[in-house]
Copies of this chain bind each other. A is one copy, B any other.
Amino acid sequence: MMNLMRRALVIGGSGALGRSMVEIFRDSWEVTSVDLRENSSAHKNIILNELQKIDDQCESCKRELTGKYDAILCVAGGFAGGSISEPEVFSKIQHLMKLNLFPCVMAGHIATQFLAEEGLIVLTGAAACFKDTTPGIIAYALSKTATHSLALNLATRQDIPATSTVATILPEVIDTPSNRDAMPNADFSKWANPRSIAALVKMWAEGVNRPENGSFAVLKTVNGQIVPEFV
């Protein structure tokens, strides 16, 4: 039976959103988590070595992959604020490119060899940076707009199956412990629940209401439910 299950690769599978993806998908999919730390809920873990160069991390990861994956989901990411006037802006950009852009590049690169026909790639962008300028969080903005550009380029399907779909989720605030700590007075009910995001993505992966190739979906929370708003 195992071989008939659909297969998901979750990049960032030990993060706040990644853990929910693994939980929700593992119910009926074979799930491989790729991250710096193990997620014991995944069927298989590929642990990256942070001390390696990123090209080498990706090559090590590829050596542990087998067959084809029906969904390759990149839900890794991180945040830092600060404007261009800060002397640390360069380090912050390098850091957030590593946290936000490079895992998505890894997803795209792996997809060129390992994505199944009619497969789904999901990348994680950011609603705030898609719609407007955000000079107060410049490093984050650059890493996310580069990610949006990556998504558009991947969606040309020059390098992945012509039957596949690239979709980018654009969360506003995700309801994670670190976001609650950072914004203790916010109305958490308006934040996107990670399990609800995962359920939406699983539905897409299973072919229900799958977005058009190249779409960007702002994740709105309406009465506790995630409603994608395509932009």
Contact = CB atoms under 8 A, between A and B. Distances in A.
A152 B112 CA distance: 32
Contacts of A80: none
Interface residues of A, number: 46
Interface stretch (A32-40, A138-146, A204-212): A138-146
Given A90-B58, A146-B145, A105 B133 contact: no
A29 interface: no
Contact of A154 (B58, B129, B135, B146): B135
A99 to B, nearest CB: 14
Contacts of A113: 85
A158 interface: yes
A93 B101 contact: yes
Nearest to A145: B149
Nearest to A151: B133
B141 A90 contact: no
Interface in A24-64: 53-55, 58-59
Contacts of A108: 84
A73 to B, nearest CB: 17
Contacts of A118: none
Interface of A: 53-55, 58-59, 83-91, 93-94, 97, 101-102, 105-106, 108-109, 112-113, 129, 133-136, 138, 141-143, 145-146, 148-150, 152-156, 158-159
23 contacts: A53-B90, A53-B91, A55-B89, A55-B91, A59-B87, A83-B112, A83-B159, A84-B112, A84-B154, A85-B113, A90-B102, A90-B106, A90-B109, A93-B101, A101-B142, A133-B156, A135-B153, A135-B158, A138-B150, A141-B149, A141-B153, A142-B150, A145-B146
